[in-house]
Amino acid sequence: MTGRLFYFIGPSGAGKDSLLNWVKTHAPAPLAVHLARRTITRPLHAGEEDHDSVDARAFALLCEAQAFALDWQANGLRYGVRHDELSPIHRGAWVLVNGSRAYLPEARARFPEMIVVHVSAGAETLRRRLTARARESADMVEQRVHRAGQFAPPTEAIQVRNDGALEEAGERMLQDMRNRAAEDIRAEGSR
């Protein structure tokens, strides 16, 4: 089995976290899946993403020490993925990274072999999910919904529409991920 890096992008409310967790728990044996833990300048809150919480100064020191394989800024926060979170790739695992749309060009430059997975949902679904989170004002929700509609995903990205049942989107996504990984392995073998 050859390891792969899957870089997930999509707007807030599209359900990236839910799909990432779904793939991690439903990937068939013997497929090893590792969900990369992020370091974020945000406190831990119950029910939200499990991450390493650091303040801005600690994050800057980690950057200076080159601790991150990937790092970006979004929505007033800093995000990083440490090198050791990607190491399971070398043991044949799929590593799933919850990434940033804006950081995609830099991530591609660092890891040109990564597979991009774009998770989307319709405007009404995004609006409903973001409103239910109750973390942002109505204006902020509308800005996020508008920004989501403006983004043009890469043509080669795996496209996942997540408006309905999580299991349906998860099954389709997992199958598309398996197909893409198999295509990559065949292409590498023909070189």
Q: Specify if 48 maps to a domain.
A: no
Read off the pLDDT of each residue in 83-104 and give the average, rounded to a whole number. Answer: 95
Q: What is the pLDDT of residue 46?
A: 59
| Domain count of the fold of the chain | 1
Q: Specify if 69 maps to a domain.
A: no
Q: What is the pLDDT of residue 72?
A: 96
Residue 1 confidence (pLDDT) above 60: no
> 104-118 pLDDT, tens per residue?
999 999 999 999 999
Residue 66 confidence (pLDDT) above 70: yes
pTM of the model: 0.90
Which CATH number characterizes residue 124's domain?
3.40.50.300
Q: Which domain holds residue 183?
A: 4-36+91-189
Q: What is the pLDDT of residue 189?
A: 65
> 144-172 pLDDT, tens per residue?
999 998 889 999 999 999 999 999 999 99
pLDDT band at 47 (very low <50, low <70, confident <90, very high): low
Q: What is the DSSP string of the chain?
A: ---EEEEEE--TTS-HHHHHHHHHHHPPTT--EEEPPEEESS---TTS---EE--HHHHHHHHHTT-EEEEEEETTEEEEEEHHHHGGGGGT-EEEEE--TTTHHHHHHH-TT-EEEEEE--HHHHHHHHHHHT-S-HHHHHHHHHHHHH----TTSEEEE-SS-HHHHHHHHHHHHHHHHHHHHHHHHT-
